[in-house]
């Protein structure tokens, strides 16, 4: 993986670590990961499958995780206050993270891309489509929501997993990851603990920063409800969600699909707040079909 790692220095001062898969001549597909999760949350074989489907895949670390800029000087925000409605400790918002995403497109000299986001990444992808509509060819929002606090909320068990105290050692970080995914994973599919352990170890080695994760969480909470603005999204849109997601309940997916004109909703039985390997062929096929439809519409526009 490291041989493929590149960096994009943005005018904002943020530097993003990124990697690519596939032929640069194919339609570009930008993958945006979720809260506290590095780009390796999009596993190599998943990215390779997308590339084999005829897509030029780009994945990157959001600010405050992995190899991208960590805003250490901003300190740790007040998560509990933000959960209670006071997000004044936010260092940035989803709009800033969407601007990072567009900055990466600028660095890559791409006028637009098909944008896929998971969880918080789905919220960022939605924000890109709202605030930078000319940069998005299609939108895929996976296990995400609209920002409306009335939908897509975690179950009590999901909230407990989200607020698990941060780890202080590598071993604790791995154990914490496994414990969280035993709660938020997919009840219809076995949890691949070996793969998850390897990813957790690599994530720790690439950059363990609990304060950065807290800053991301408060950014989500500070960014408000996108429902009305999602009504202005005009690109082909796919909403994918696990029917058994305890971290972002499926009402978030229903609300997202209802808010975006002509959005397609795919609820997957047995899927929680993750993408089990058994579902990759289905998800890749759905994304590839959306891209093909969007590229055809773009060619005839």
Q: For the chain, which residues make up each domain, given as ranges? A: 2-154+209-300
Residues 6 or more apart whose Cβ sits within 8 Å of residue 24 = 56
Give the span between the Cα atoms of 277 and 119, in whole angstroms: 17
- Nearest Cα to 294, choosing from 129, 172, 142? 129
What's the confidence (pLDDT) of residue 76? 81
- Of these residues, 100, 148, 244, 245, which one is catalytic? 245
Question: What is the model's pLDDT at position 270?
Answer: 98
Distance between CA atoms of residues 189 and 34, nearest Å: 21
User: Residue 21: what pLDDT?
Assistant: 98
- How confident is the model at residue 2, as a pLDDT? 52
Report how far residue 217's alpha carbon sits from residue 166's, in angstroms, rounded to the nearest whole number. Answer: 13
Query: Choosing from 68, 89, 119, 186, which is the catalytic residue?
Result: 119
Contact (Cβ atoms closer than 8 angstroms) between residue 141 and residue 248: no
Sheet of 136-142: strands edge to edge? 6-9, 15-21, 56-60, 28-32, 113-118, 136-142, 237-242, 264-268
Residue closest to 60 by CA, chosen among 23, 27, 105: 105
pLDDT in tens, the chain (301 residues): 456 899 999 999 999 999 999 999 999 999 999 999 999 999 999 999 999 999 999 999 999 999 999 999 997 899 999 999 999 999 999 999 999 999 999 999 999 999 999 999 999 999 999 999 999 999 999 999 999 999 999 999 999 998 999 999 999 999 999 999 999 999 999 999 999 999 999 999 999 999 999 999 999 999 999 999 999 999 999 999 999 999 999 999 999 999 999 999 999 999 999 999 999 999 999 999 999 999 999 899 7
State the Cα torsion 262-267-268-269 to the nearest 10°. -160
Examine the residue annotation and report whether 273 is marked as an active-site residue of this protein.
Answer: yes
Q: Out of 3.40.50.300, 3.50.50.60, 3.10.20.340, 3.40.50.1820, which CATH number does the structure's domain 2-154+209-300 have? A: 3.40.50.1820
**Residue 68 designated active-site:** no
């Amino acid at each position: 993986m490291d041989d493929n790692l590149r960096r994009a220095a943005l005018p904002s001062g943020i530097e993003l670590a990124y990697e690519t898969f596939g032929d640069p001549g194919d339609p570009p597909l930008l993958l945006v990961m979720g809260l506290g999760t590095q780009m390796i949350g999009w596993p190599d074989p998943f990215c390779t499958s997308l590339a084999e489907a005829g897509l030029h895949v780009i994945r990157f670390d959001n600010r405050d995780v992995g190899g991208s800029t960590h805003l250490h000087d901003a300190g740790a925000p007040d998560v509990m206050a933000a959960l209670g409605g006071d997000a004044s400790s936010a260092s940035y918002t989803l709009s800033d993270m969407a601007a990072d995403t567009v900055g990466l497109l600028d660095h890559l000299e791409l006028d637009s891309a098909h944008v896929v986001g998971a969880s918080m990444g789905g919220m960022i992808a939605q924000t890109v489509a709202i605030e930078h509509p000319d940069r998005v060819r299609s939108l895929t929002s996976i296990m995400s929501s609209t920002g409306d606090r009335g939908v897509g909320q975690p179950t009590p068990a999901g909230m407990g997993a989200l607020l698990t105290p941060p780890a202080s050692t590598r071993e604790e970080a791995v154990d914490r990851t496994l414990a969280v995914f035993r709660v938020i994973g997919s009840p219809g599919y076995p949890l691949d603990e070996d793969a998850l352990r390897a990813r957790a170890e690599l994530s720790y080695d690439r950059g363990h920063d609990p304060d950065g994760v807290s800053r991301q969480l408060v950014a989500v909470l500070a960014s408000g409800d996108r429902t009305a603005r999602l009504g202005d999204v005009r690109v082909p849109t796919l909403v994918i969600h696990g029917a058994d997601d305890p971290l972002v309940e499926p009402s978030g997916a229903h609300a997202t699909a209802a808010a975006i004109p002509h959005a397609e909703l795919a609820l997957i039985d047995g899927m929680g707040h993750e993408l089990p390997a058994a579902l990759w062929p289905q998800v890749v096929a759905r994304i590839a079909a959306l891209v093909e439809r969007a590229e055809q519409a773009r060619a005839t526009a």
